[in-house]
Amino acid sequence: MLANLDIDIREGVDFPLTESDLVGICETVLNEEGVRRPCYVSVSVVCDDEMRSQNLEWRGVDAVTDVISLECERPDDEDLAEGEPCELGDILLAPGYISRQATTYGTTAADECRLLYIHGLLHLLGYDHLEDDEATEMEAREDELLRLVKTDGDIDHVTITRHREGQQP
């Protein structure tokens, strides 16, 4: 098993995915990205108020958002000894915000959570979307990975990474 997850779903926060879903998605992403080293990922599922506070602290943005990724190490880091586990980092998800966003994009809350969890994992693995070419690459990878995980229905092409500057609803 490549993925070792520390999952914290805050009390009172409704989350449409199971811990098993999170582990399976993480395993799929790591396998498809060619990661062979065991990786640790912390996943926190938080309310909108906590996400807003974390967004302000980590990104200097005083607004709620759907996902935040905080990278620690990369699996290909030359400083890691052979076979040493990699501390990939932390992912924070705000399912309340994500659920409202799902309506905007015509997806289910669960599928939007799957997409944004994949999005967060890709950030931990070095993907970004600051430039158009990077965003196009990341969107294509999100499309490919979404096809490999169980979804509620057909998810069209991601079209716009939810986090391109100025694109969030």
- Domain 3-148: give its CATH superfamily: Metalloproteases ("zincins"), catalytic domain (3.40.390.30)
pLDDT range class, residue 136, cuts 50, 70, 90:
confident
- Residue 91 and residue 112: Cα distance in Å, rounded? 15
Tell me which residue has tokens 């979804």. Answer: 151
Residue 33 binned pLDDT confidence (cut-offs 50, 70, 90): very high
Backbone angles phi, psi at 165, to 5 degrees: -50, 125
Taking only the tens place, the pLDDT of each residue in 139-168 is 889 989 988 987 666 665 555 555 554 444
Per-residue H/E/C for 74-88: CCCCCCCCCCCCEEE
**Has this prediction a pTM greater than 0.95?**
no
User: What is the number of alpha carbons within 13 Å of residue 153 lying toward its C-beta?
Assistant: 6
Residue 120 pLDDT exceeds 70: yes
The C-alpha angle 152, 157, 159, rounded to 5 degrees, equals 125
> What average pLDDT does this structure show over 22-43?
96
pLDDT, the chain, mean: 89
CA distance 65 to 5: 22
